[in-house]
Chain A
Amino acid sequence: MAAPESGDGNNGAARMVTLISSDNTRFEVEAAAASLSQTLQLTILDGGGGGGDGIPLPNVDSATLSKVLEYCIKHAPAAANGGAPNATAVDRAELERFDNEFVNIDQSVLYSLIMAAHNLEIEGLQSLVAKKVADMIKGKSPMEIRRTLGFPDPTPEEQAEMNAHMLEYGWAYE
Chain B
Amino acid sequence: MAPPPPPPELMEDALGEILLRLPSDDPAHLLRASLVCKQWRRLLTDPAFLRRYRAFHRTPPLLGFLRNTDDYIARFVPTASFLPRTPDHHSCRVLDCRHGRVLLYVHGRDYIVWDPITGDEHHVPDADIPQSNFNAAVMCAAGAGCDHRDCHGGPFLVALVGPDEPELVTYASLYSSESGELCEPSELEFEYYVEMLPPVLAGGAMYFQCQFGLAILSYDLYVDGSLFGFERPERDNPHDFDGTALIPAGDCGLTFAGLMPYSSLHLWSLQMTGDLVEWTSHRVIELGTLLPSADIRSYGQSLIGVAPGPDDSDIIFVGTDVGVFAIGLKSRWIRKVSEGRSSDYAIFPYTSFFIPGHAIERPSAATTTQ
Chain A contact residues, CB within 8 Å of chain B: 107-108, 111, 114-115, 117-118, 126-127, 130-131, 133-134, 137-142, 145-152, 158, 161-162, 165-166, 169, 171-174
Contacts and interface: CB of A to CB of B under 8 A. Distances in A.
Contacts of A142: 32-33, 35-36
Contact of A118 (B11, B78, B82): B11
B126 interface: no
A130 B8 contact: no
- The B contact surface, by secondary structure, is loop
27 contacts: A107-B5, A114-B10, A114-B14, A114-B18, A117-B14, A118-B17, A127-B17, A127-B21, A130-B14, A130-B18, A131-B21, A133-B18, A134-B18, A134-B22, A137-B18, A141-B32, A142-B33, A142-B36, A145-B32, A148-B4, A149-B36, A150-B4, A151-B36, A158-B37, A171-B81, A171-B83, A173-B32
Interface string B33-77: 111110000000000000000000000000000000000000000
Majority secondary structure of chain A interface residues (helix, strand, loop or mixed): helix
Contact of B37 (A141, A147, A151, A172): A151
A118 B18 CA distance: 12
Interface of B: 3-8, 10-11, 13-14, 17-23, 27-29, 31-37, 78, 81-83
Given A130-B17, A145-B32, A138 B5 contact: no
Contacts of B28: 171-173
Given A118-B14, A138-B29, A172-B31, A145 B36 contact: yes
Nearest to A118: B14
Given A171-B82, A171-B83, A111 B22 contact: no
A174 B6 CA distance: 28
A31 B311 CA distance: 37
B15 to A, nearest CB: 9
B31 A169 contact: yes
A130 B78 CA distance: 29
Contacts of B34: 165
A149 B3 CA distance: 9
Contacts of A111: 5, 7-8
A108 B36 CA distance: 19
A126 B36 contact: no
B34 to A, nearest CB: 8
